[in-house]
Amino acid sequence: MNKIAFLTLLGLTLAGCGTDKKENTPSEAATETPAVATTNDKPAAEGAEEKEPTQTTLSPEEQRSAGIRLGKVEDRVLSGGLKVNGTLDAPPENAVTVSALLGGIVERTTLLQGSRVQAGQVLATIRNPEFLELQQNYLETSSQLEYARSEYERQEELYKQEVAPQKNYQRARAEYKALQAQVAAQAARLRLAGLPVGGKLTTSAPVKAPRGGFLKAVNVSAGQSVTATDVLFEIIDPGHLDVVLNVFEKDVPQLRTGQTVRYSLANDSVGADHQAKIYLIGRTVGEDRTVRVYAHLRHEDASRLPGTYVRAIIETNSATVPALPDKALVQFGGKSFIFVADGRQAGEKQETRYRMVPVEAGVSENGYTQVTLPAGTSATTASIVTEGAYSLLAKLKNAEEEE
């Protein structure tokens, strides 16, 4: 009896479990898939980029305070040549050194470095006791020459009359010619030493300038002992100078005689244009691995000083291109821009509108830069801001930040 009751209870329990399983199966199948968010839910305004302003206006007073100036695109010869350094220097024929032929003691000199001197001007006075010996020898030889000439003329007359033998005439003639040569040599030596030929004996001789120019160096003072090899003065004639450039050896193959050199000095204004022509290219490499290149100035200027430092560009591939002053270009966001004046606006304020235009910048040289204007901007008619461009850029960006 108990066994039958247990089996009946177990059957009812299993039947209940089967019912629960069947009821849960439909609910699991009905489970919903979670919704996926899409980018379309973002507001359209968040993806839009705000366009940067490219125009600004200035009143006449603002234009004056900003220093606005307008100009046009110019056709200029620019090149991407070699940029080198060098100096202005006088060629060898325009630079001389002055020495005392026989040396001695400097008795007097009043000149300073930079003084202007004329050819034949006395630079210093040298005292030397040997000057007396030179003059004495000249005077003695001159006296012997007088006697030799008389003897030569007498022997010549006797020879013609067949009274004296020919050898006496030939000997007298040879002695006369020898003394004549000695006197001429001694006179020339006196002149080189600055001593008088004949006349009063003296122990002092002047040192004279062989040519005119400026004293580049004065290496003596009164009382100084000098020798024939000492350089007392250096004279430079600045009437003709050369541009002497130092070019690295790797760049020398690009050079040719006749190429144009554009150079500027330290005190030049922006855009100054000095030119020279290469006439000699050195054939030796210095210790600094450079080669010297010489160029004649196209226009001489006596006011320029030898030794002046120059910056130069050797034109190896020059061309005429549209260009603007460097001040006309502004840099913003890694690009180059210019400002174009779009004309005066109507109204009481009479303001002028300026438009920022992107350009492609090319070669820069002597204060000018090659530019390529965008389509729609005429290089011949556009009024371009050549000074004060950065003031316009500052106002444009300040107005953008305020917005």
> Which CATH number goes with the domain that contains 104?
2.40.50.100
User: Which residue from 194, 193, 221, 215 is spatially nearest to 95, judged by alpha carbons?
Assistant: 215
Structure tokens at 403: 């917005």
* The pairing of beta strand 309-314 with beta strand 82-89: antiparallel
CA distance 278 to 86: 13
Q: Which domain holds residue 390?
A: 55-76+320-402
Give yes or no: residues 120 and 141 share one domain: no
The region of weakest confidence among 28-42, 142-156, 263-277, 297-311 is: 28-42
Give yes or no: residues 233 and 208 share one domain: yes
The confidence band for 26, taking pLDDT boundaries of 50, 70 and 90, is very low
* The pairing of beta strand 260-265 with beta strand 242-248: unpaired
CA distance 359 to 330: 10
Q: Within a 10 A sphere around the Cβ of 253, how many other Cβ atoms?
A: 7
Structure tokens at 95: 């630079």
What mean pLDDT do residues 266-276 have?
A: 73
User: Which residue from 112, 120, 117 is spatially nearest to 214, judged by alpha carbons?
Assistant: 117
Give yes or no: residues 334 and 223 share one domain: no
CA distance 315 to 295: 13
Give yes or no: residues 233 and 245 share one domain: no
Structure tokens at 341: 């004046």
Q: Is 22 helix (H, G, I), strand (E, B) or coil?
A: helix
The C-alpha angle with vertex 132 and arms to 128 and 133, in degrees rounded to 5, equals 110
CA distance 14 to 7: 11
Give yes or no: residues 72 and 102 share one domain: no
Burial 283-321 (b: 16+ CB within 10 A, else e): eeeeeeebbbbbbbbeeeeeeeebeeebebbbbeebeeb
Classify residue 220 as exposed, middle or buried by CB count within 10 Å of its CB (0-12, 13-18, 19+): buried
pLDDT at 33: 38
The region of weakest confidence among 12-21, 279-288, 318-327, 334-343 is: 12-21
Q: For the domain that residue 248 is a member of, what is the CATH number?
A: 2.40.30.170
The answer, yes or no, to whether residue 156 has pLDDT greater than 50, is yes
Asked, for residue 18, whether it belongs to a domain, the answer is: no
Angle subtended by helix axes 130-160 and 166-193, to nearest 10 = 160
The confidence band for 5, taking pLDDT boundaries of 50, 70 and 90, is very low
Give yes or no: residues 211 and 156 share one domain: no
User: What percentage of the chain reaches a pLDDT higher than 70?
Assistant: 82
Q: What amino acid occupies position 129?
A: P
Asked, for residue 341, whether it belongs to a domain, the answer is: yes
Q: What DSSP designation does 241 have?
A: -
Asked, for residue 45, whether it belongs to a domain, the answer is: no
Give yes or no: residues 288 and 231 share one domain: no
Q: What DSSP designation does 50 have?
A: P
Asked, for residue 362, whether it belongs to a domain, the answer is: yes
User: Which residue from 183, 205, 223 is spatially nearest to 129, judged by alpha carbons?
Assistant: 205
Q: For the domain that residue 394 is a member of, what is the CATH number?
A: 2.40.420.20
User: Which residue from 300, 301, 311, 238 is spatially nearest to 270, judged by alpha carbons?
Assistant: 311
- pLDDT single digits (tens) 388-403: 888 888 888 776 655 5
pLDDT at 270: 55
Q: What amino acid occupies position 131?
A: F
Q: What DSSP designation does 90 have?
A: -
Asked, for residue 214, whether it belongs to a domain, the answer is: yes
The confidence band for 149, taking pLDDT boundaries of 50, 70 and 90, is very high
pTM: 0.53
What mean pLDDT do residues 316-337 have?
A: 86
Classify residue 263 as exposed, middle or buried by CB count within 10 Å of its CB (0-12, 13-18, 19+): buried
pLDDT at 8: 46
Give yes or no: residues 306 and 260 share one domain: yes
Which of 187, 221, 237 is the endpoint of a domain? 237
Max intra-chain CA distance, the chain: 204
Give yes or no: residues 275 and 326 share one domain: no
Asked, for residue 41, whether it belongs to a domain, the answer is: no
Reported for 273-278, long-range contacts at CB under 8 A and 24+ positions apart, including other chains, are: 273/366, 274/298, 274/299, 275/299, 276/242, 276/243, 278/314
Which of 179, 213, 237 is the endpoint of a domain? 237
pLDDT at 22: 41
- Average per-residue pLDDT in the chain? 81
Q: Within a 10 A sphere around the Cβ of 202, how many other Cβ atoms?
A: 13
What radius of gyration, in Å, describes the C-alpha atoms of the chain? 49
Asked, for residue 12, whether it belongs to a domain, the answer is: no
Among left, alpha and beta (phi > 0; psi -120 to 50; other), residue 301 is beta
User: Which residue from 172, 135, 176 is spatially nearest to 155, judged by alpha carbons?
Assistant: 172
Asked, for residue 380, whether it belongs to a domain, the answer is: yes
Domain count, the chain: 4
pLDDT at 52: 62
pLDDT at 278: 94
Give yes or no: residues 123 and 208 share one domain: yes
List all residues 6 or more positions away from 309 whose beta carbon is below 8 Å from its beta carbon: 85, 86, 87, 265, 266
Give yes or no: residues 143 and 276 share one domain: no
Give yes or no: residues 226 and 109 share one domain: yes
Which of 316, 347, 362 is the endpoint of a domain? 316
